[in-house]
């Protein structure tokens, strides 16, 4: 029988199902490939990045090819394989309370590596993780919609195509800024990096 979310074993809690972990890593790999191939096209000094893919033209093609799994695979895995967890994630991500704002306001010392014992208790996802989830959903939607407009410009009015570029850029810039904090917390931060284990084995320290 599959292990239930929240099950405890010693000081570990079961946090993420295989579906959630697969969706997370598929999304991550696609995002990085899209960021690199997008930068190869976007950035005038991006020749070094473009050469990783065999030139700007190849980077353009890879960008369009990877865009398809980016838009579809993680959502299909999540909602097809673990619909209960997916719905729960959406529910928690979009329900904000006063405690969440207190959590965000008091998180600065934690971000700097000091412990703030006065942070409010969190649900399965704390306010920072909720913010990351909402940003991922909003910018992901924005990237897919603007990306399709940029990909097939002949089907859309000129003003919309012109508008799609800055919105595509705002979306990847916003998500990439969040990604820097996300990677810092999951790989470097002394207290939070234990959480990375949850996205690898599914089990995470109860603390």
Rule CB under 6 A: which residues touch ligand HEM?
31, 34-35, 38-39, 41-42, 60, 63-64, 67, 70-71, 143-144, 147-148, 150-151, 165, 168-169, 172
- Whole-number Å distance between alpha carbons of 167 and 182: 22
Nearer to ligand HEM among residue 8 and residue 57 (C-beta): 57
For the CB of residue 192, give the shortest distance to ligand HEM in the complex, in Å. 23
- Whole-number Å distance between alpha carbons of 178 and 136: 9
Nearer to ligand HEM among residue 88 and residue 169 (C-beta): 169
Nearer to ligand HEM among residue 128 and residue 147 (C-beta): 147
Which phi and psi (to 5°) does residue 127 adopt? -60, -35
Residue nearest to ligand HEM (CB): 147
For the CB of residue 169, give the shortest distance to ligand HEM in the complex, in Å. 5
The sheet with strand 12-14 has its strands ordered as 8-9, 12-14, 203-205
For the CB of residue 41, give the shortest distance to ligand HEM in the complex, in Å. 5
For the CB of residue 84, give the shortest distance to ligand HEM in the complex, in Å. 27
For the CB of residue 21, give the shortest distance to ligand HEM in the complex, in Å. 20
- Whole-number Å distance between alpha carbons of 27 and 179: 12
**CA distances for 13 relative to 10, 165, 203, angstroms:** 8, 43, 5
For the CB of residue 67, give the shortest distance to ligand HEM in the complex, in Å. 3
Q: Which of 127, 141, 137 shows the shortest CA–CA distance to 95?
A: 127
Nearer to ligand HEM among residue 176 and residue 205 (C-beta): 176
């Amino acid at each position: 029988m599959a292990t239930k979310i929240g099950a405890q074993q010693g000081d570990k809690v079961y946090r993420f199902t295989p579906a959630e972990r697969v969706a997370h890593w598929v999304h991550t790999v696609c995002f990085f490939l899209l960021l690199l191939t997008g930068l190869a096209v976007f950035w005038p000094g991006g020749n070094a990045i473009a050469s990783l893919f065999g030139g700007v033209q190849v980077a353009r093609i890879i960008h369009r090819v990877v865009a398809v799994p980016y838009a579809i695979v993680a959502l299909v895995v999540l909602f097809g394989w673990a619909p209960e967890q997916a719905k729960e994630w959406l529910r928690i991500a979009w329900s904000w309370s006063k405690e969440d704002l207190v959590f965000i306001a008091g998180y600065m010392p934690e971000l700097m590596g000091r412990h703030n014992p006065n942070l409010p208790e969190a649900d399965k996802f704390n306010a920072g993780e909720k913010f990351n989830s909402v940003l991922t959903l909003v910018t992901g939607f924005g990237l897919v919609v603007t990306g399709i407009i940029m990909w097939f410009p002949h089907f859309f009015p000129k003003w919309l195509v012109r508008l799609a570029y800055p919105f595509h850029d705002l979306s990847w810039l916003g998500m990439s800024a969040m990604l820097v904090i996300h990677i810092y917390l999951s790989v470097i931060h002394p207290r939070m990096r234990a959480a990375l284990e949850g996205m690898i084995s599914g089990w995470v320290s109860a603390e």
